[in-house]
Amino acid sequence: MSKEKLLYTPEDVAKLLQVKTVTVHNWLRRGELKGFRVGSKLWRITREQLQEFIEFDLDYLELDNHRRK
């Protein structure tokens, strides 16, 4: 059985994407990265939500790079 995580913390996402945790919190607050709150302060991001964010971001970057050419 795979040991892949099903839920990620903002800290996990920050490490994976090599950004600061505050950046991940900003994405969550702005709705750019989907996630859900556990209690009043803690965020969790599902594997699917993270994949969607990464795919959207890559699509956006590819489109942006195409426009610059």
Q: Over the stretch 4-41, which tens digit does the pLDDT of each residue have? A: 779 999 999 999 999 999 999 999 999 999 999 999 99
By DSSP bridging, strand 36-38 and strand 7-8 are unpaired
Is pTM beyond 0.85? Reply is no
CATH 1.10.10 applies to domain 7-68: no
pLDDT number for residue 53:
93
Q: Which two tokens stand for residue 2?
A: 């795979």
CA dist., res. 58 & res. 69, Å (int): 17
Domain ranges of the chain: 7-68
